[in-house]
């Protein structure tokens, strides 16, 4: 049986690339949004991802096994409220994705408004409004075969008649609602939003219209409602105002951004969000404040723990990461770079590892050892520091590192005396790769014991 989602009177977090990840969505819900959209996710990314239950975080993860990246992470707290926005130009691919993810989302939205080159060249985003047959075939296919509501998000066209004609055509596909960003393809966010055009669309169609584009004038919840009413729309969707201060959804008025940053960090730690994504979201909140002393300290930070430290949440982060690590989070060890020969082949990772391992010469000593940051409270204990001291003490040549970079994954080989050492795992940063190579060397030299490495999760026995 088909599920439904009530699109009347709802305040919605808009889809935003890099911003609409799990911490931001949960924050929006806790501050008063009713429905939250994911960032736009391109169809092939979800097709190639593997659905995994994450028992440690209590999340469902769609993991790209070629680089270990989380393509989509969701949890019970947003069940029935999360809408996944898909970037697609192909009905069959969209349906495969829809079937794969529908158990984890409340609705599927197709992006038909993105004016970026990347989208248009791929026939996605606003290109679909200029290829209505394709747009309709995607929506019709999804509406017919999925058990969840299907919607789309569009921009307006330069002429009002043209816009209404398109929306009416899209309505015939059976979609449950339509989100309208009241700007044309060439208009920029600073240009005024055409609330009058949205109002005309509302009059012309029978499905709920979700008004979008009002952030410039939105500073508090009552402004959100004012924009919705100016458009006469069933619901309203907010992007930038939420990106700047997600507590804009609160009934009681927005909170100071320090509180919002705290909440963002807490959720990022709780849901093991990537440091780069967390950093980006906070940059969007800080905006001009990045120029302050605190802002610069923040910009210098790299790990989640370092980012948290700027707002005095370092020990919370450490404690939580240790807890997760002890509970068995092992995700990144699965990552291996995609083979250039067959980039879509996801069926034989072992083959890929083999091929890439061949680039590491046979005289390199390899062990299944990975560097786990949380094991090292004191920087002096870091494998690279320890190995450095070992060479100094024993009067041998200092360690020399060589790094291999493949599709944004790294392996390092460290040369010490006459030996060359490397971890067999691919890491997501050059620094981690060097640390795991150093750790492999320390193990081989008998400085780190197998028991200790197995106990702290660095080594798979
Ligand atoms: C966006 N927008 C957007 N739209 C979309 O359909 N899919 C997406 O992934 C994104 N990504 C995105 C990222 C960022 C950082 C911003 C600021 C915007 C557009 C967004 O959803 C919305 O349509 C516009 O920003 C207008 O609404 P506001 O900002 O006036 O509320």
pLDDT, one tens digit per residue, over 65-88 is 777 789 999 999 999 999 999 999
Same domain, 101 and 24: yes
Q: Please say if the pLDDT value at position 331 is more than 70.
A: no
> Are 404 and 421 a contacting pair, CB within 8 Å?
no
Q: What is the mean pLDDT of residues 401-421?
A: 91
| Total domains in the fold of the chain | 3
Domain annotation covers residue 158: yes
Q: Please say if the pLDDT value at position 122 is more than 60.
A: yes
Confidence of residue 360 (pLDDT cuts 50, 70, 90): low
Residue having the nearest C-alpha atom to atom 2 of ligand 1: 16
Q: What is the mean pLDDT of residues 293-320?
A: 93
Domain annotation covers residue 433: yes
Q: What is the mean pLDDT of residues 88-117?
A: 98
Is the CB of 15 within 6 Å of ligand 1?
yes
The tokens of 410 are what?
């790294």
Is the CB of 119 within 6 Å of ligand 1?
no
Active site residue 152: no
Q: Please say if the pLDDT value at position 359 is more than 70.
A: no
Residue having the nearest C-alpha atom to atom 19 of ligand 1: 16
The rounded Å distance from CA 12 to ligand 1 centre is: 12
> Are 21 and 34 a contacting pair, CB within 8 Å?
no
The tokens of 146 are what?
């999925």
pLDDT per residue over 245-270, tens digit each? 999 999 999 999 999 999 999 999 99
Domain annotation covers residue 344: no
Domain annotation covers residue 332: no
Determine the atom of ligand 1 nearest the C-alpha atom of 109. Answer: 6
Task: Give the C-alpha separation, 447 to 294, whole Å.
Answer: 39
Same domain, 230 and 373: no
Q: Which of 248, 255, 320 is nearest to 56 (CA)?
A: 320
Is the CB of 243 within 6 Å of ligand 1?
yes
Half-sphere exposure of 219 (CA within 13 A, CB side): 2
> Are 56 and 70 a contacting pair, CB within 8 Å?
no
Q: Please say if the pLDDT value at position 283 is more than 50.
A: yes
Half-sphere exposure of 454 (CA within 13 A, CB side): 5
Domain annotation covers residue 265: yes
The rounded Å distance from CA 34 to ligand 1 centre is: 18
Q: Please say if the pLDDT value at position 337 is more than 70.
A: no
Same domain, 176 and 292: no
Is the CB of 153 within 6 Å of ligand 1?
yes
Same domain, 321 and 442: no
What's the pLDDT score for residue 348? 32
pTM score, whole prediction:
0.84
Domain annotation covers residue 127: yes
Domain annotation covers residue 315: yes
Q: Give the range among 51-65, 101-115, 221-235, 332-346 with minimum mean pLDDT.
A: 332-346
Among candidate residues 69, 75, 114, 246, the one labeled active-site is: 114
Same domain, 282 and 390: no
Q: Is 179 exposed, middle or buried (0-12, 13-18, 19+ CB in 10 A)?
A: buried
Same domain, 305 and 236: no
What's the pLDDT score for residue 461? 56
Determine the atom of ligand 1 nearest the C-alpha atom of 155. Answer: 23
Is the CB of 383 within 6 Å of ligand 1?
no
Task: Give the C-alpha separation, 89 to 345, whole Å.
Answer: 21
Q: Which of 250, 284, 316 is the last residue of a domain?
A: 250
Nearby residues of 159 by Cβ (< 8 Å), 6 or more positions away: none
Half-sphere exposure of 208 (CA within 13 A, CB side): 19
- Give strand pairing partners of 37: 83
Range of the structural domain that residue 358 is part of: 349-455
The rounded Å distance from CA 241 to ligand 1 centre is: 10
Determine the atom of ligand 1 nearest the C-alpha atom of 215. Answer: 30
Q: Using CA atoms in the order 366, 370, 373, 378, what is the torsion angle rounded to 10 degrees?
A: -40
Same domain, 34 and 70: yes
What's the pLDDT score for residue 340? 41
The rounded Å distance from CA 376 to ligand 1 centre is: 40
Q: Please say if the pLDDT value at position 136 is more than 80.
A: yes
Q: Please say if the pLDDT value at position 327 is more than 70.
A: yes
Same domain, 15 and 92: yes
> Are 259 and 41 a contacting pair, CB within 8 Å?
no
Is the CB of 214 within 6 Å of ligand 1?
yes
Q: Which of 197, 226, 250 is the last residue of a domain?
A: 250
Domain annotation covers residue 128: yes
Q: Which of 419, 427, 49, 19 is nearest to 238 (CA)?
A: 19
Same domain, 320 and 437: no
Task: Give the C-alpha separation, 198 to 218, whole Å.
Answer: 17
Residue having the nearest C-alpha atom to atom 30 of ligand 1: 213
Considering only residues 244 and 69, tell me which one the structure prediction assigns the higher pLDDT. Answer: 244
Is the CB of 21 within 6 Å of ligand 1?
no
Same domain, 74 and 181: yes
Q: Which of 250, 278, 312 is the last residue of a domain?
A: 250
Q: What angle do CA 222, 224, 229 make, to 5 degrees?
A: 95
Give exposure, 75-97, as e/b (b: 16+ Cβ within 10 Å).
Answer: bebbeebbbbbbbbbbbebbbeb
Confidence of residue 460 (pLDDT cuts 50, 70, 90): low
Same domain, 180 and 61: yes
Is the CB of 84 within 6 Å of ligand 1?
no
Same domain, 107 and 195: yes
């Amino acid at each position: 049986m088909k599920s439904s989602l009530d699109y009347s009177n709802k305040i919605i977090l808009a889809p935003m690339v890099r911003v609409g990840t799990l911490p931001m969505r949960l924050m929006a819900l806790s501050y008063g949004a009713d429905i939250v959209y994911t960032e736009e996710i391109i169809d092939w990314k979800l097709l190639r991802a593997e659905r995994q239950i994450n028992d440690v975080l209590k999340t469902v993860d769609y993991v790209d096994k070629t680089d270990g990246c989380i393509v989509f992470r969701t949890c019970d707290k947003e069940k029935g409220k999360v809408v996944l926005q898909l970037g697609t130009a192909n009905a069959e691919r969209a349906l495969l994705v829809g079937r794969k993810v529908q158990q984890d989302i409340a609705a599927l939205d197709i992006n038909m408004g993105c004016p970026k080159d990347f989208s248009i060249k791929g026939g996605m985003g606003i290109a679909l409004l200029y290829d209505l047959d394709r747009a309709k075939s995607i929506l019709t296919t999804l509406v017919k075969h999925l058990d969840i509501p299907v919607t789309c998000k569009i921009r307006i066209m330069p002429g009002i008649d043209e816009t209404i004609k398109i929306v009416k055509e899209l309505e015939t596909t059976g979609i449950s609602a339509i989100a309208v960003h009241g700007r044309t393809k060439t208009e920029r966010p600073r240009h005024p939003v055409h609330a009058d055009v949205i109002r005309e669309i509302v009059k012309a169609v029978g499905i709920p219209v979700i008004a979008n584009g009002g952030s410039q004038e939105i500073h508090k919840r009552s402004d959100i409602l004012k924009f919705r009413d100016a458009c006469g729309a069933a619901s309203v969707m907010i992007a930038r105002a939420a990106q700047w201060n997600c507590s804009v959804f609160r009934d009681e008025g927005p909170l100071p951004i320090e509180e919002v940053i705290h909440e963002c960090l807490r959720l990022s730690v709780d849901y093991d969000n990537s440091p780069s994504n967390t950093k980006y979201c906070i940059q969007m909140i800080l905006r001009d404040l990045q120029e302050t002393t605190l802002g610069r300290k923040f910009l210098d930070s790299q790990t989640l723990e370092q980012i948290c430290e700027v707002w005095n949440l370092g020990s919370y982060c450490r404690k939580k990461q240790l807890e997760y690590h002890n509970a068995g989070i092992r995700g990144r060890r699965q990552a291996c770079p995609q083979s250039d020969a067959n980039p879509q082949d996801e069926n034989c990772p072992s083959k890929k590892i083999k091929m890439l391992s061949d680039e590491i010469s046979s005289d390199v000593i390899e062990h299944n050892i990975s560097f786990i940051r949380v094991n090292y409270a004191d920087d002096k204990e870091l494998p690279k520091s320890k190995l450095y001291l070992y060479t100094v003490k024993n009067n041998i040549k200092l360690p020399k590192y060589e790094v291999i970079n493949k599709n944004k994954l790294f392996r390092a080989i460290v040369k010490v005396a006459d030996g060359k050492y490397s971890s067999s795992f691919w890491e997501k940063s050059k620094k981690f790769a060097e640390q795991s190579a150093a750790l492999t060397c320390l193990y081989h030299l008998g400085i780190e014991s197998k028991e200790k490495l197995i106990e702290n999760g660095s080594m798979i026995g």
